[in-house]
Structure 1
Amino acid sequence: MTQWFETVAQAQRLARRRLPRSVYKALIAGSERGSTLRANLSAFDAIGLSPHTAGQPAQRELATRVLGQDLSMPVIISPTGVQAVHPDGELAVARAAAARGIAMGLSSFASQPVEEVVAAGAPTFFQVYWSGSREQIAERLARARRAGAVGAIATLDWSFSHARDWNSPHIPERITLREALRFAPEALTHPAWLASWLRAGELPDLSVPNMVAEPGTPAPTFFGAYGEWYGTPPPSWEDVAWLREQWGDGPFVIKGVLRTDDARRAVDAGATAISVSNHGGNNLDGSPATIRALAAVAEAVGDQVEVLLDGGVRRGSDVAKALALGARAVLIGRAYLWGLAANGQAGVENVLDILRSGLDSTLLGLGRGSVDELAPEDLVIPPGFEVRLGG
């Protein structure tokens, strides 16, 4: 029970105690000053709720259908890169998602191969960057489809910032003897984390097998994959439309939309869904909080595509606020990583249970019988809160 927690904030505190300092700092850091990272959180706090006193429904329906999948609640695992916070990494997350009836977003920079993650049982959406040649990108998408991925996510909100002014730890490309000696004090002072890796018979590895284009090719390290991305010219909207064609039938999500004109271009490029995202505050610092831009983007696309939101979700009430402003579902990132760090698969399930309980409690207080009933009138939105970018 010492590994069980009641809030996502408590999961974060447990993760901080369990993880070596450098590993934890890699999770919490944002680009440059971290202004957008903090704004994602504070913007949710600025929105109030409008509760009812009596007459609330005795039962609430949290299940919904998103991206062609029936989910137990409108929460999706956001794809995040190499998950060295726990030896099982994305496999533990996928198993937790399957156990709780939600979908899994899998990064092409993940530490576990797409075939094994899909086999864990959760509907899996494979995330791809515009990185490398068209042939390499097409092969990654084809491999994901062969593995059984049900949809694709094109991440376009990681394209500007290459520096962090704060909380930027040294991350080794590989655990060499020299790096092992360098990190030994951190590891030895966090014995639970170290013991979990020793039991697994391995040390943290920043290889990314999903970037392998051909069988038998060694998986590049995270920094090798990053270098390939950094050296690839940014995609045009014609490139994005080509990406959509490569995926073919099935959901295709464009992640990283904050502007209404970009939202409309995403529709024209063939997206079936867009995610209002600023890469969790790890892209262009000074970008607005995603929840502030959500309503304008949702209005711009209407019912042409599904709208998701990514950034700053820590509570079930945050999920409700996003849905009330036009999102079909939210994606979570740091929240589940803290659960993974704190207690592996059980920790991720714990985080999902917290969000589910909080969402249900919010529906009860608002007098709503279903997540589909949430509307702007359920919220107290301060003047000037919403941001419209792109006209």
Structure 2
Amino acid sequence: MAGQWFESVAEAHRRAKKELPKSVYGALVAGSEAGATLEDNMAAFRELQFLPHVCDLPFEKDLSTTVMGQDISMPVIISPTGVQAVDPEGEVAVARAAKNAGTAMGLSSFASRSVEDVLEANEKTFFQMYWVGDRETLAARAERAKKAGAKGLIVTLDWSFSHGRDWGSPAIPEKMDLKTMIKYIPEGVTRPRWGLRMLRAGKVPDLTVPNIPVGGEDPPTFFGAYGQWMFTPPPTWADVAWLREQWDGPFCVKGITRIDDAKRAVDAGATAIQVSNHGGNNLDSTPAPIRVLPGIVEAVGREVEVILDGGVRRGSDVVKALALGARAVAIGRAYLWGLAANGQPGVENVFEILRSGIGSGLMGLGKSSVHDLAPEDLIIPPNFTRQAVS
């Protein structure tokens, strides 16, 4: 929309805070416990520095790459996040924005829109699964995604149910019925534009998750699915290898921060790994992914694609991650803030901010392609990296 353009992800964040009810906004910004990991995810990028050139700089710059078999126009993809109640169209709006940006969508199994709807909006969609249910159920869920046309499977393993927050956890309702809506009227009054967006679209946030059912049963609420997840025994590496056998396309293991885990993921048949600490929402005091990336790339980067998420807010952050060996980055909060600020155009706005920043970084470093970036393009301070168990 005219007049809604923002020039930075930080500005999208500020607008999202003004736009969203307190409880919805709180769910987006929250990190676990003291938030030490959440803070380090962003602070670590600021410790890395560039030494730019001033002449013989490239005029033409190639940002394109491939991730999990998909050609993308820039090394940034959508990381899967749960129920996106910040906009009436939710994940479908994000998928369309990613398509218009020429990149891929990661869809959460805890999303508010079905894998079928999202793939209709963007055929370059990867389906993400938590370890919820028995093997038969998991295989059926993967088969559903395959039939819908998902181009890859992302298995998220980084979760320990460590969610207590020093500043308080946001209150998220079980479902949006009349009683609940009345309860949240005071919040809605303070953020009327968000409520009007929902009303104009003729819908309220749907807190059910349609990607969990594998038969004809009704979709569970978010917390119903969360409960199933909590009471499913955590997978073994043998379980991961079994699921890999059920999926004959690109297969990514998300949540890696240790070299030994990266190697086990490779042994289990992963074609990609996502270096991640769940956006600071897992075990607090885990180091930022950018700190452990170099050791993981050195250990397994010749065998699998390495994707990074966590703390990416600028195109320069993307350049730093690629210089340290990542194939691409996945963004989470950045696009959710764009979605809250201005719907689908807001997500497209975020992509353009990152695209511009990547281009500027390449020019300054004298590189014509994202594939030319290397550690030598950075000043890496002593003790920056964390060597996490080989």
Alignment check: 8 A CA contact 2:31 2:163 kept? no
CA shift digits 1:75-114 (9 cap, x unpaired): 1100000000001000000000111100000000000000
TM-score norm. by structure 1 comes to: 0.98
Aligned equivalent of 2:333? 334
Does 2:11 align with 1:24?
no
Alignment check: 8 A CA contact 2:42 2:312 kept? yes
Given residue 246 of structure 2, which amino acid in structure 1 is its aligned partner? Q
Aligned equivalent of 1:36? 37
Aligned equivalent of 2:346? 347
Q: Structure 2 matches for 1:225-304, cutoff 5 A?
A: 225-247=225-247, 249-304=248-303
Shift of 1:162: 3.6
Alignment check: 8 A CA contact 2:256 2:274 kept? yes
Aligned equivalent of 1:363? 362
Given residue 368 of structure 2, which amino acid in structure 1 is its aligned partner? G
Shift of 1:168: 1.4
CA shift digits 1:306-358 (9 cap, x unpaired): 10101000000000000000100000000000000111110000000000000
Q: Within 2, Cα distance between the matches of 1:33 and 1:183?
A: 27
Does 2:76 align with 1:68?
no
Aligned equivalent of 2:200? 199
Aligned equivalent of 1:383? 382
Shift of 1:122: 4.0
Q: Within 2, Cα distance between the matches of 1:226 and 1:160?
A: 10
SS in 2 for 1:331: strand
**Off by >6 Å, runs of 4+ in structure 1:** none
Shift of 1:163: 2.1
CA shift digits 1:98-152 (9 cap, x unpaired): 1110000000000000001001024000000111111111111000000000000
SS in 2 for 1:209: coil
Alignment check: 8 A CA contact 1:76 1:104 kept? yes
Q: Structure 2 matches for 1:306-325, cutoff 5 A?
A: 306-325=305-324
SS in 2 for 1:206: coil
Alignment check: 8 A CA contact 1:110 1:208 kept? yes
Does 2:114 align with 1:113?
yes
SS in 2 for 1:210: coil
SS in 1 for 2:66: strand
SS in 1 for 2:116: helix
CA shift digits 1:258-298 (9 cap, x unpaired): 00010000000000000100000000001000000000000
Unaligned runs of 5+ in 1: none
Given residue 264 of structure 2, which amino acid in structure 1 is its aligned partner? R
Q: Within 2, Cα distance between the matches of 1:213 and 1:121?
A: 22
Given residue 117 of structure 1, which amino acid in structure 2 is its aligned partner? V
What is the alpha-carbon root mean square deviation over aligned residues?
0.9
Shift of 1:159: 2.6
Unaligned runs of 5+ in 2: none
Aligned equivalent of 1:96? 97
Aligned equivalent of 1:181? 182
Q: Within 1, Cα distance between the matches of 2:41 and 2:171?
A: 25
Alignment check: 8 A CA contact 1:25 1:167 kept? no
**Gap change, CA 1:357 and 1:167, over 3 Å in 2:** farther
Shift of 1:189: 1.6
Given residue 356 of structure 1, which amino acid in structure 2 is its aligned partner? R
Alignment check: 8 A CA contact 1:63 1:72 kept? yes
Q: Within 1, Cα distance between the matches of 2:256 and 2:145?
A: 24
**Gap change, CA 1:167 and 1:369, over 3 Å in 2:** farther
Q: Within 1, Cα distance between the matches of 2:315 and 2:174?
A: 37
**Percent identity over the alignment?**
64
Shift of 1:3: 1.6
Q: Within 2, Cα distance between the matches of 1:180 and 1:57?
A: 55
Q: Within 2, Cα distance between the matches of 1:178 and 1:116?
A: 29
Q: Within 1, Cα distance between the matches of 2:220 and 2:307?
A: 31
Q: Within 1, Cα distance between the matches of 2:38 and 2:165?
A: 12
CA shift digits 1:47-83 (9 cap, x unpaired): 1011001111111110111211110001110000000
CA shift digits 1:203-238 (9 cap, x unpaired): 1121000001212x1110000000000000100000
CA shift digits 1:368-388 (9 cap, x unpaired): 010000001110111000111
Q: Within 2, Cα distance between the matches of 1:277 and 1:302?
A: 15
Alignment check: 8 A CA contact 2:123 2:149 kept? no
Shift of 1:181: 2.1
Give the length in aligned residue pairs. 389
Given residue 354 of structure 1, which amino acid in structure 2 is its aligned partner? I
Shift of 1:160: 4.1
Given residue 86 of structure 2, which amino acid in structure 1 is its aligned partner? V
Segment drifting more, 304-313 vs 115-124 = 115-124
CA shift digits 1:145-193 (9 cap, x unpaired): 0000000000011234142222411110112333222210111221110
Aligned equivalent of 2:16? 15
Given residue 306 of structure 2, which amino acid in structure 1 is its aligned partner? V
Alignment check: 8 A CA contact 2:105 2:122 kept? no
Q: Within 1, Cα distance between the matches of 2:144 and 2:317?
A: 35
Given residue 197 of structure 1, which amino acid in structure 2 is its aligned partner? M
Shift of 1:243: 1.2
Aligned equivalent of 1:52? 53
